[in-house]
């Protein structure tokens, strides 16, 4: 997944990859820890364009991730597709001078650049990073998932549980039942 800079023509070039998840160290670690499974390969299509001292990489990465629903804990497969645009540079500006003459130091991440050394770009890290960014924070097997009973653990998606709902005394229930004088 390494691209030699001198092989990028002036009009740009298209690249496509299809790799198993275990060639990506972070994805392999997530799978080994049991957090996720990746039943489909990681695929990417990208366009690389050389613009002066920058290389713009634009495209998408997609795969399928198997994970547990955060409400009912059932395993389900979810397709992931993440679009991205990144700019690579060999040289990163150390500081930028704003209009008032005061200098401010910025990092590469703050100005949206990815730093690289040498004569090639390794797109493996880019693909891996985009998959991780696309992983849902709170995965749901479906939008209307009802979750589990907090008392007996029954899955409400399959029907009501047999433990019976406990009525919790609400101190404000008195206000609901009180007849208020009309003004």
Strand intervals (E) in 73-152: 75-89, 95-96, 104-105, 113-115, 120-122
Q: Is pLDDT at 17 greater than 80 in this prediction?
A: yes
Among the listed residues 57, 72, 85, 76, the one whose alpha carbon sits nearest the alpha carbon of residue 148:
72
Q: pLDDT: is 16 or 113 the higher one?
A: 16
Give the pLDDT band (50/70/90) at residue 96: very low
Which residue has 């200098």 as its token pair? 103
* Lowest-confidence region among 113-122, 127-136, 160-169: 160-169
Q: Looking at the predicted structure, is the pLDDT value of residue 18 above 90?
A: yes
Which of 126, 141, 138 is CA-nearest to residue 42?
126
pTM of the predicted structure, to 2 decimals = 0.72
Quick check: 182 pLDDT over 90? no
Residue 6's pLDDT is 82
Confidence bin at 163 (pLDDT 50/70/90): confident
For residue 9, what pLDDT is reported? Answer: 87
The Cα 44–Cα 114 span in angstroms is 18
* Closest to 145 measured CA to CA, from 77, 79, 78, 73: 73
């Amino acid at each position: 997944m390494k691209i030699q800079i001198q092989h990028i023509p002036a009009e740009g070039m298209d690249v496509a990859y299809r790799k198993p998840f275990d060639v990506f160290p972070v994805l392999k670690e997530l799978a080994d820890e049991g957090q996720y499974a990746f039943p489909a390969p990681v695929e990417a299509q990208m366009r690389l364009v050389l613009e002066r001292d920058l290389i713009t990489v634009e495209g998408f990465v997609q795969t399928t991730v198997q994970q547990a629903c955060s409400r009912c804990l059932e395993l389900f497969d979810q397709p992931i597709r993440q679009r991205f645009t990144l700019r690579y540079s060999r040289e990163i500006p150390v500081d930028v001078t704003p209009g008032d003459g005061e200098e401010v130091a910025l990092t590469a991440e703050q100005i949206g650049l990815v730093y690289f050394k040498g004569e090639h770009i390794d797109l493996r890290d880019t693909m891996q990073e985009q998959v991780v960014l696309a992983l849902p924070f709170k995965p749901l097997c479906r939008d209307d998932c009802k979750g589990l009973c907090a008392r007996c653990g029954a899955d409400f998606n399959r029907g009501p549980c047999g433990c019976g709902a406990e009525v919790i005394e609400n101190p404000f229930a008195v206000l609901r039942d009180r007849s208020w004088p009309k003004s």
